[in-house]
Amino acid sequence: LQQSVLPVHWERATAEAHGDKGISHVLDFGPGESVGIGAITARNKEGTGVQVILAGALQGDRGLGDKSTLFDANPKSVRFAPNWERDFGPKLVRLADGSLMVDTRFTRLLGKPPVMVAGMTPTTANEQIVAAFTKAGFHGELAGGGQHTEAYFRDRVAKIMAEIPAGEGITTNLLFLNAYLWGFQYPLVEVMRQEGKPMDGVTIAAGVPTLETANEVLASLRKSGIQHVSFKPGNIASIKQVIEIAKANPESQILLQWTGGRGGGHHSYEDMHEPILQTYAAMRRLPNLTLVAGSGFGDAKDALPYMTGEWSREFGMPAMPFDAVLVASRVMASQEALTSPEAKALIAQAPGIPNEKAWEGSYEGPVGGVRTVVSELGEPIHKLDTRGIALWAKYDAKYFNKPPAEAEAAILADKATIIAELNRDYQKVYFGKKADGRVADLEDMTYMEVARRMVELMHVPGGEGGRWIDVTFRDRVYDFLVRTEERFHRSGDSTAFVQSPKQLETDPVAFLQEFFARYPKAQERLIASEDVDYFLNLAKRPGKPVNFIPVIDKDLKIWFKKDSLWQSEDLEAVPGKDVQRVAILQGPVAVRYT
Ligand SMILES: Cc1cc2nc3c(=O)[nH]c(=O)nc-3n(C[C@H](O)[C@H](O)[C@H](O)COP(=O)(O)O)c2cc1C
């Protein structure tokens, strides 16, 4: 019997056994058989191209060879172990037209280079940028987060189709956690596909569905002709869930977009590397799973190790290549992005963090100019540290993360301060305001003051009569005027002055002037309590969520957070055109490249 009395660093002792060094097989002559050192070595050597054979065992186990393997004289029977670098690393291929292209599982699946633009609300929610990256020959995603209604979504798809060459597909990024959007968008993508629109792929973002739900969704997407489906797991448990989904659906082409806690926008609590080190082998056993690395990328030099797989060597592991990388934050400042120039300038000014591990500090305060706050969906999200976002972080801690009753009491007690802070620092200001500029509650406003304030906040002056931020904003003003007219119309009067929302289309300020000249009492009468309720219902009505806070109550969190991203693309619609009021999504690592 022999016993080692000093530690044996087995991984180091066997380091030379590596496919790269010309070693393809290791023979274990020990007595341990399938639970001996051979099995441990096989696990350590996974992905290096080294096949372990249990030379003393009559029966191998878990992919290990046995004595019969050793003595099999047929050369065809020799089994080689996977070598991740060789099997999955990028190669070059020459296409029929003579051009050279990088060859990975991703490029073969999509016929595009292995760099993609991730789905971003609002940045990739418009036709301009989707058409731009498609025409440039790249794969990317149309963000469903910006498509509020079926008509709007269809209009976007039609506009993209008009821009991109025939034969190019559209992949949509659908937010699984958002029940309203998912509820109409997932069926709609299938319907559009059946109508012949080039809906090629779907990304199921913001949450990985259960295996049962995923099986149903994938079967349905396959049936309607969707060619590939991406998932965006945020931790090891959800990576394993995607592995199970891919296993259960071998006919579906699945992409796994891995973005760790350092990514822009919604992010997980996880390190970028650890979850992959633990799951890479299992992922690579699946022929229908394509791996995309994301988060923190912004140039070729730093992204390349993820393509070649070199990144994992510093963790003492064999090379673990991804099939593609995705970029997001970096694209927000591109020329084609509709991000406002002032927001792009803020992105350029934010230093980012040189040491990527420092991102975890973003929960406590800004790091590299980026903070974590809790999003509308209740998930951590990275945003530039503007005045508005510093206020958001403060309210998360002070009110929104508290139990509802405690939050409500605190909100009501601080009402005056909250109103002052919203009006000074946030993109959505408090609605209540008298004609002379004093803050007031709705009950203390006249019909005319309410109507004018609606127009002031929801309509942008300038040009020929200005523009409505959204048509549903115009329609709400129209409905409020109809209600007002009902209140002040005398029975003997001729027909109603307010006939159609179109009357408000150009120059609503002038229209209100005329309207209230006809109804002088509405200039002075405070709005009735039923009409306060009517106004609040108008504000809550489906359509684009309103861009102001109509009341300080227990629902402050909803009013504050809902639909809070578009302002970074439309500073004209923000009080004082003040970029410091708005929410600008960015990753703390990626931002250093801009
Ligand atoms: C402006 C912005 C908006 C985003 N919106 C979405 C979205 O709608 N859906 C989604 O799946 N991910 C969204 N993300 C996350 C990105 O798709 C991507 O996973 C992440 O930003 C990658 O990290 P990086 O920004 O460091 O490159 C968003 C990110 C940014 C920066």
Structure tokens at 137: 């020959």
The sign of the torsion formed by the CA atoms of 198, 203, 209, 211 equals positive
Task: Indicate if ligand 1 lies below 6 Å from the C-beta of 263.
Answer: yes
Q: What is the pLDDT of residue 174?
A: 95
Q: What is the pLDDT of residue 428?
A: 98
**Cβ partners under 8 Å of residue 528, min gap 6:** 487
Which residue, among 324, 326, 325, has the nearest Cα to 88 in the 3D structure?
324
| Domains located in the chain, CATH noted | 10-81 (no CATH), 86-338 (3.20.20.70), 357-581 (1.20.930.70)
- 176-180, 418-422, 524-528: least confident range: 176-180
Q: Whose CA is nearest to atom 30 of ligand 1?
A: 265
The sign of the torsion formed by the CA atoms of 553, 555, 557, 563 equals negative
Which residue, among 143, 133, 79, has the nearest Cα to 110 in the 3D structure?
133
pLDDT band at 580 (very low <50, low <70, confident <90, very high): very high
Reported in sequence order, the residue ranges of 95-197 that DSSP labels E, i.e. its strands, are 100-103, 115-117, 139-143, 170-175
Angle between helices 471-488 and 447-458 (to 10 degrees): 170
Which residue, among 223, 174, 218, 172, has the nearest Cα to 194 in the 3D structure?
223
d(CA 586, CA 565): 12
Residue corresponding to tokens 């942008």? 460
Mean of per-residue pLDDT scores for the chain: 93
Structure tokens at 505: 């289309």
Task: Indicate if ligand 1 lies below 6 Å from the C-beta of 145.
Answer: yes
Q: Whose CA is nearest to atom 13 of ligand 1?
A: 120
d(CA 290, CA 104): 9
Ligand 1: which of 231, 266, 382, 591 to mutate, judged by most atoms within 8 Å of the beta carbon?
266
Q: What is the pLDDT of residue 260?
A: 85
d(CA 293, CA 90): 14
Does residue 19 carry a pLDDT above 90? Answer: no
Q: What is the pLDDT of residue 31?
A: 84
Reported in sequence order, the residue ranges of 214-281 that DSSP labels E, i.e. its strands, are 228-231, 253-259, 265-266
How big is the chain by its Cα radius of gyration, in Å?
Answer: 29
Q: Residue 304 CB: number of other CB atoms within 10 A? A: 13
Q: Whose CA is nearest to atom 10 of ligand 1?
A: 119
Q: Once rounded to an integer, what is the mean pLDDT over residues 238-249? A: 96
Does residue 319 carry a pLDDT above 70? Answer: yes
**Cβ partners under 8 Å of residue 379, min gap 6:** 177, 206, 266
Terminus-to-terminus CA distance in the chain, angstroms?
63
Q: Once rounded to an integer, what is the mean pLDDT over residues 100-106? A: 95
Task: Indicate if ligand 1 lies below 6 Å from the C-beta of 393.
Answer: no
pLDDT band at 359 (very low <50, low <70, confident <90, very high): confident
For 299-316, what is each residue's pLDDT tens digit? 999 999 999 999 999 988
**Cβ partners under 8 Å of residue 540, min gap 6:** none
Task: Indicate if ligand 1 lies below 6 Å from the C-beta of 259.
Answer: yes
The percent of residues in the chain predicted with pLDDT above 70, rounded, is 99
For 368-423, what is each residue's pLDDT tens digit? 999 999 998 888 999 999 999 999 999 999 999 999 999 999 999 999 999 999 99
Does residue 500 carry a pLDDT above 80? Answer: yes
Task: Indicate if ligand 1 lies below 6 Å from the C-beta of 214.
Answer: no
Output the CA 428–ligand 1 centroid distance in Å: 23
User: Could you identify the atom of ligand 1 that is nearest to the CA of residue 257?
Assistant: 19
Q: What is the pLDDT of residue 492?
A: 67
For 115-173, what is each residue's pLDDT tens digit? 999 999 999 999 999 999 999 999 999 999 889 889 999 999 999 999 999 999 999 99
Q: What is the pLDDT of residue 401?
A: 94
User: Could you identify the atom of ligand 1 that is nearest to the CA of residue 584?
Assistant: 1
